[in-house]
Amino acid sequence: MTFVYVLIGVIVAVALYIFYNASKLKKAVTPLTEEQFKEGYRKAQLIDLREPKEFDGGHILGARNIPMTQMRQRHKEIRPDLPVYLYCQNSSRSARAALYLKKRGYDQIYQLDGGFRKWTGKIKSKK
Cβ atoms within 10 Å, residue 4:
8
Q: Mark whether 82 is an active-site residue.
A: no
C-alpha to C-alpha distance for 117 and 25, rounded to whole angstroms:
21
C-alpha to C-alpha distance for 78 and 84, rounded to whole angstroms:
8
Cβ atoms within 10 Å, residue 49:
29
Catalytic option among 88, 95, 101, 112: 88
C-alpha to C-alpha distance for 74 and 63, rounded to whole angstroms:
15
Which H helix or E strand runs over 85? strand 84-87
- 3 state DSSP class of 40: helix
Q: Give me the active site residues, please.
A: 88
